[in-house]
Structure 1
Amino acid sequence: MKFRDLSILLGIIGIVLMMVVPIPKELLDILLVINISVALMILLISMNTQDALHFSIFPSLLLITTLFRLALNVSTTRLILKDHDAGHVVETFGRFVAGGQIAIGFVVFLILVVVQFIVITKGSERVAEVAARFTLDAMPGKQMSIDADLNAGLINEQQARERREKIEKEADFYGAMDGASKFVKGDAIASIIILVINLIGGFIIGMAIHGMSVTDALETYSILTIGDGLVSQVPALLISTATGIIVTRAASDGNLAHDVSTQLLRYPYLLYVVAGTVFLLGIATPIGFISTIPFSVILVIAGYRLQRNLVRRQQQEELLVEEKEIEEVRSPESVISLLQVDPIEFEFGYGLIPLADTHQGGDLLDRIIMIRRQCALEMGLIVPVIRIRDNIQLKPNEYIIKMKGNMVARGELLLQHYLAMSPGFDDDSVTGIETQEPAFGLPALWINEATKERAELAGYTVVDPPSVVATHLTEVIKKHAHELIGRQETKALVDSVKETYPALVEELVPSIMTVGEIQKVLSKLLKEKISIRDMVSILETLADYGKFTKDPEVLTEYVRQSLSRQITQQYAQASEPLKVITVSPAVEKKIAEAVQQSDQGSYLAMDPVSSQAIYQRLTEQVNRLIQSGQQPIVLTSPTIRMYLRQLLERSLNDIPVLSYSELEPNIEVQSVGVVNA
């Protein structure tokens, strides 16, 4: 244990022992001086603190100093009652303040108690209570504001995390201050009780035990009581003031002295008004010119100097702004900023502004937060910040989705309507504006509020416009997920794994594979809608097979086989067999014979006639399953799966192509179609 930590522990233990163990008067004098010094230091620190969180130890420090002050009160009370002598410091305070008149000393002490207990302590307690309540109430709004800034691209993930931590610390601090302010209140009450005990108990003990006369007992114990009370009340008053300063501090870039001097003297013209008022008081009242004219002159001079400095400062700021603008225009960085392209953009016409405007009930920002979380859970992909902006070049009710500056999807909404999708048979009683569901291209109707209930009773799927946008945006992100994961995103995923599996990452990167090679494998998995959330299994497989091959296609096949349980659960249902379209041995042989090897890896080099024939027969089987309402899945051998996928990815990209090695052994497979040569 460090010496500093050990000294703090021994100090707190010593404070507790002071309450039961008598201490010498000489040591008590030193401790009383230390108490005053610590209180003054706390007051000065609170005045120079820019943020309350910079002095977050204050609630605990308040308890320790209160305990220390009470321990000193117990020690001085013991000496007062036992020896009618509590040391040089207590006696000096009592005689100096009383000035030979005990009544004056008591009045001064009672004024200090009233100021501390009724004014400062009560006010600090109330402010701490209100600050804690409002801080807790404001936490959800502040967190939503952080999420909105994050989605808008104004801050990054690290800055958002730091802001959330600051909000949590503020709530903890003001909650602790709410409780710690009770210590100050209890200390003020205890000081009054100790005053009564010292005075009455000392008077009785002085006459009964020490044989003092009434006058001597009253004078001696009154002076000691006043001195003891002042010695404890002065530090208590300083710490109570520090408590009030801490809990009343607002957001600021400077300390208390800077804020007072800056904000109080911000308006020089007001000093002229105050100077004129004081000058009129000297004329119209018996106060006289001697007291008012010098102060009025000082205020006028100060106002003039402040006004001149203010004008000079504004001119300097204007010159700095102009110079900065000129430098920005001249600098090459002003053009470089125009070259940045956002990964995802959502642009909409002015008619759809209520979707994103929270003041009009729009919840698009909250939905985007949920979309990013959903993609992280389902696909293991950290979706970058989605830039949201309005575009006056679009139709009022139109929106577009861009990936890296290029439009990939568009749609149109009617805000005061609902999108109703048919269950397979149309109901003539449900009428609306014919349209197409943007995410899946299904025929649909825009219906009004009056038709909504009728459509739901008829079996239609009815959704509101924000849900239509959220669904469309989610599907677009899933479809283009492989474009969103680059080397930087891959490095972030690998670094997150390294925190818990350092040996795995250190073995793989960079001795076996580079971040770019891992990125190619992850991109191919996402392109076929395979989740990369199980990064540990993916990196384990790459570490095993990356020593033998660098071909991303082959490595992807190995990874898919290691994710067989995940792929099986993605496409198979526990209670039903997995219905698939199989490939005949003749077709598999033809594809295997058309595989060519090169320095960059293997690829399919099939003649156009054969590839068209296979594609045509596979299309027939897929269309047949779609018409029967089933999801088409192609199942083939592991050796040709990736080549068959290459053959189909141009036109049938959404059709899953699986191999036998990617399915769990306990899964029942039922062939509902065969692709023949």
Structure 2
Amino acid sequence: MKARDLSVLLAVILIIIMLVIPLPGWLLSVLILINITLALIVILVSMNTQEALQFSVFPTLILLLTLFRLALNVSTTRSILSEADAGGVVDTFGTFVIGGNPLVGFVVFIILVIINFLVITKGSERVSEVAARFSLDAMPGKQMSIDADLNAGLISETQARERREKVEREADFHGSMDGASKFVKGDAIAGIIIVLINIIFGLIIGMVQLDMSFQESINVFMRLTVGDGLVSQIPALLISTATGIVVTRATSEGNLGTEVTGQLLQYPKLIFIAAGTIFLLGLTPINFFLTTIIAGLLALSGYLLQRQSSEPDIPDIEEEDQTESSQMKSPENVVNLLNMDPVEFEFGYALIPLADTNQGGDLLDRIIMIRRQLAIELGIVIPVVRIRDNIQLNPNEYRLKIKGNEVAAGELLLDHYLAMAPDIDDDQIEGIDTKEPAFGLPAKWINEESKDEAELSGYTVVDPPSVVSTHITEVIKQYAHTLLGREETKQLIDHLKENYPILVEEVTPEPLAIGDIQKVLAKLLKENISIRNLPIIFETLADFAKMTNDTELLAEYARQALSSQITKQFVHDDMALKVITVSGKVEKMIAENIQQTEHGNYLSLDPESQQNIIKIMHEEVEKLTLQEETAVVLCSPAIRMYLKQLVERFLPQVAVLSYNELEPTVNVQSVGVVNIA
């Protein structure tokens, strides 16, 4: 155990001993001086802290120091009443303050107690209550501000986590200070009661047991009581003052001395006014010589401050150049340039109002909602979307980057609305022809005057922020599998382990490494299958990973385990699922051309057959699209992944399902067949 830890434990044990065992006078004197020293150190530390969390141990320290002070009161009371002696320190304080008049000394002590109890302690208690309440009320707003900065790319995930922890710690600190201030108040009340006990019972013991006269008892016990009260109230006054300083100070950039002098003396002209006022007071019967000296000192101080503030701060150019040069040469500066944001949203200067909250922009809030929506739909946490303006883009242009590569772009007209209606061609609705960026539908940019008319004509009218947020959502869905790396997979596994520790241990690190699990999950996301139901996926991996480590095959097993989820994804309101089936001839051809290697299986089909299959499937998909139906191809489980690999480059939006991925109760209606002659 470290010496510091041991010292605190011994101090607590000593406090308990002081409450029970009588202590000699010399030891009481030592402990009283230690008490005063600790209180002095506490108030000095509180004056030099820049924020409350730098002295986060203060609430607990108040409890320990209060208990120590009360234990000293008990020990000194025992010595005063039993031996009429409490050590040299108490006697010296009492003699000095009383000065031969016990009544005057007692009045001074009472005034000191009133100042501590009614002024400082009461005020500190009230400020602690208000600070605790305001700190708790402000927590949601601070958390939202952190989320907004995080989504804007102003801070990193680590910085956001640190700021959240700091907000929580501040709330805990102010709550603890609210409770600790009650200890200070109780200590002040206990000090008053102990003084009364010492005086009353001291007089009784002095006259009855020690055969003293009334005057002798008053002199002895009043001196010791006042001395004991002073050596107790002086540290209590310091601790109460320190409590008030800590709870009344907000986060600052300097200590209390720097801030007080800097802010109090920041207006030299006001010091001249104060000097003139003091000088005019000297014209009254008040001492003219004294007021003139004070006014002169104030005027001199104001002149020096005004002269100092008028001198411009000339920066050391040579020193700045050296600093910039050293920063450019430092390896850290170059390493920081290698950082790449997972998701970036850039826009031209005309689109700045989208992200500027002062101009009514709500893009940051929309992106927060997008991340939450995708977490629910896909089961992954999308990284922070860094938002920035780019003067190299056209004013109304925006683009979206995934890991540094541009994956989508578009244009917005902020003073227009986007009107979409593929089957409507109303020439009366004037606008700028364009395409809806997320789905490529024909659309028009119309002005606000045409909005109502377009809605009555059957158009779907959308505002620009909704257009861009929809585009961002669809693009991130499309590239979600590229955003799921090993680090993100590890976070998902750790989250799952909190509730399913045995399941996780059975899957990783043996028989599957994190990289293998990442490949399985990315494979599911690539085909728009949510991985939110991680327990079922891991149950499947636990069952089949012992038989094969082929991640492609494991992903197929996971898809079959998620049959209920996949069914709900494609079948709505118990309607028949219209599909394009694959003929037995095509399935047999694909199955016979599967090549097995040490690194996995792949389809080795001649180019002519591949082109025929893709051509026929494309024709069938177009027929289904004309009926406004989702294109779904249904085949046997043995060839599903190979068929998907074959067509995904040419028909990426077509869903390829196997019979095992649909619930038995689903009503399947074949509307086309992929067959070759």
Q: TM-score normalised to the size of structure 1?
A: 0.81
Q: Tell whether the 8 Å contact from 1:423 to 1:461 is kept in structure 2 after alignment.
A: no
1:240 maps to what in 2?
Answer: 240
Residues 98-497 of structure 1 aligned to structure 2 (within 5 Å):
98-196=98-196, 198-199=198-199, 202-203=202-203, 212-251=212-251, 287=289, 318-329=317-328, 341-422=340-421, 434-446=433-445, 461-494=460-493
Assess, with a 3 A threshold, how the Cα gap between structure 1 residues 482 and 119 changes in structure 2: closer, same or farther: same
Give the distance between the partners of 2:448 and 2:268, measured in 1 at CA: 60
Residues 83-94 of structure 1 aligned to structure 2 (within 5 Å):
89-94=89-94
Give the distance between the partners of 2:335 and 2:187, measured in 1 at CA: 63
1:63 maps to what in 2?
Answer: 63
Q: Tell whether the 8 Å contact from 2:43 to 2:239 is kept in structure 1 after alignment.
A: yes
Deviation at 1:649, TM superposition (A): 0.9
Give the distance between the partners of 1:12 and 1:416, measured in 2 at CA: 71
Instruction: Report Cα offsets for 1:636-666 as digits up to 9, x if no partner.
Output: 1111111211222123211110112223445
Q: Tell whether the 8 Å contact from 2:15 to 2:67 is kept in structure 1 after alignment.
A: yes
Q: Which moved more, 1:325-334 or 1:602-611?
A: 325-334
2:521 maps to what in 1?
Answer: 522
Deviation at 1:249, TM superposition (A): 4.1
Q: Tell whether the 8 Å contact from 2:153 to 2:387 is kept in structure 1 after alignment.
A: no
Give the distance between the partners of 1:364 and 1:546, measured in 2 at CA: 43
Instruction: Report Cα offsets for 1:137-192 as digits up to 9, x if no partner.
Output: 44334323322332233432222112101111101211322343243234334434
Q: Tell whether the 8 Å contact from 2:117 to 2:188 is kept in structure 1 after alignment.
A: yes
Deviation at 1:95, TM superposition (A): 1.6
Residues 472-621 of structure 1 aligned to structure 2 (within 5 Å):
472-494=471-493, 512=511, 515-535=514-534, 537-538=536-537, 541-542=540-541, 545=544, 551-573=550-572, 575-597=574-596, 600-621=599-620
Give the distance between the partners of 1:342 and 1:480, measured in 2 at CA: 15
Deviation at 1:530, TM superposition (A): 1.6
Q: Tell whether the 8 Å contact from 1:152 to 1:386 is kept in structure 2 after alignment.
A: yes
Secondary structure, aligned partner of 1:240:
helix
Give the distance between the partners of 2:157 and 2:88, measured in 1 at CA: 60
Deviation at 1:226, TM superposition (A): 1.3
Deviation at 1:374, TM superposition (A): 2.3
Report how many aligned residue pairs link the two structures.
671
Assess, with a 3 A threshold, how the Cα gap between structure 1 residues 319 and 245 changes in structure 2: closer, same or farther: farther
Give the distance between the partners of 1:654 and 1:350, measured in 2 at CA: 34
1:674 maps to what in 2?
Answer: 673
Give the distance between the partners of 2:89 and 2:402, measured in 1 at CA: 77
Deviation at 1:69, TM superposition (A): 3.4
Q: Tell whether the 8 Å contact from 2:80 to 2:224 is kept in structure 1 after alignment.
A: yes
Residues 644-663 of structure 1 aligned to structure 2 (within 5 Å):
644-663=643-662
Instruction: Report Cα offsets for 1:318-359 as digits up to 9, x if no partner.
Output: 444312322444568766655654332212222221110111
Assess, with a 3 A threshold, how the Cα gap between structure 1 residues 458 and 84 changes in structure 2: closer, same or farther: farther
Secondary structure, aligned partner of 1:652:
coil
Assess, with a 3 A threshold, how the Cα gap between structure 1 residues 585 and 528 changes in structure 2: closer, same or farther: same
Give the distance between the partners of 2:74 and 2:615, measured in 1 at CA: 98
Instruction: Report Cα offsets for 1:475-527 as digits up to 9, x if no partner.
Output: 00011222323444445545555676677667766665555544443332221
Letter in 1 for 2:639: I
Give the distance between the partners of 2:364 and 2:673, measured in 1 at CA: 47
Give the distance between the partners of 1:450 and 1:76, measured in 2 at CA: 88
Give the distance between the partners of 2:24 and 2:105, measured in 1 at CA: 23
Give the distance between the partners of 1:493 and 1:190, measured in 2 at CA: 55
Letter in 1 for 2:251: A
Instruction: Report Cα offsets for 1:244-286 as digits up to 9, x if no partner.
Output: 232244435776678789x58999999x999x99xx99x9986
1:634 maps to what in 2?
Answer: 633
Q: Give 5+ residue unaligned stretches, structure 2.
A: none
Give the distance between the partners of 1:293 and 1:577, measured in 2 at CA: 96
Give the distance between the partners of 1:449 and 1:635, measured in 2 at CA: 46
Q: Tell whether the 8 Å contact from 1:433 to 1:445 is kept in structure 2 after alignment.
A: yes
Give the distance between the partners of 1:609 and 1:24, measured in 2 at CA: 104
Give the distance between the partners of 1:321 and 1:37, measured in 2 at CA: 44
Q: Tell whether the 8 Å contact from 2:42 to 2:242 is kept in structure 1 after alignment.
A: yes
Instruction: Report Cα offsets for 1:381-432 as digits up to 9, x if no partner.
Output: 3322222122334343332222333332223333344444449667899776
Assess, with a 3 A threshold, how the Cα gap between structure 1 residues 3 and 484 changes in structure 2: closer, same or farther: closer
Deviation at 1:371, TM superposition (A): 1.6
Give the distance between the partners of 2:329 and 2:69, measured in 1 at CA: 64
Give the distance between the partners of 1:127 and 1:99, measured in 2 at CA: 38
Assess, with a 3 A threshold, how the Cα gap between structure 1 residues 100 and 337 changes in structure 2: closer, same or farther: closer
Give the distance between the partners of 1:5 and 1:488, measured in 2 at CA: 38
Assess, with a 3 A threshold, how the Cα gap between structure 1 residues 642 and 257 changes in structure 2: closer, same or farther: same
Deviation at 1:134, TM superposition (A): 4.2
Secondary structure, aligned partner of 1:97:
helix
Deviation at 1:629, TM superposition (A): 3.1
Letter in 1 for 2:241: T
Give the distance between the partners of 2:124 and 2:633, measured in 1 at CA: 73
Residues 67-78 of structure 1 aligned to structure 2 (within 5 Å):
67-70=67-70, 72-73=72-73, 76=76
Q: Which moved more, 1:24-33 or 1:88-97?
A: 24-33
Secondary structure, aligned partner of 2:65:
helix
Identity within the alignment, %: 60
Secondary structure, aligned partner of 1:346:
strand
Letter in 2 for 1:408: V
Q: TM-score normalised to the size of structure 2?
A: 0.81
Give the distance between the partners of 2:150 and 2:328, measured in 1 at CA: 28
Instruction: Report Cα offsets for 1:26-61 as digits up to 9, x if no partner.
Output: 476665455434434433443454542233232233
Give the distance between the partners of 1:638 and 1:4, measured in 2 at CA: 68
Give the distance between the partners of 2:331 and 2:83, measured in 1 at CA: 83
Q: Tell whether the 8 Å contact from 2:50 to 2:255 is kept in structure 1 after alignment.
A: yes
Give the distance between the partners of 2:204 and 2:449, measured in 1 at CA: 90
Secondary structure, aligned partner of 1:580:
strand
Q: Give 5+ residue unaligned stretches, structure 1.
A: none
Letter in 2 for 1:365: L
Letter in 2 for 1:478: K
Secondary structure, aligned partner of 1:606:
coil
Q: Tell whether the 8 Å contact from 1:423 to 1:459 is kept in structure 2 after alignment.
A: no
Letter in 1 for 2:354: L
Assess, with a 3 A threshold, how the Cα gap between structure 1 residues 340 and 218 changes in structure 2: closer, same or farther: closer
Assess, with a 3 A threshold, how the Cα gap between structure 1 residues 64 and 429 changes in structure 2: closer, same or farther: farther
Deviation at 1:135, TM superposition (A): 3.1
Secondary structure, aligned partner of 1:402:
strand
Assess, with a 3 A threshold, how the Cα gap between structure 1 residues 292 and 390 changes in structure 2: closer, same or farther: closer
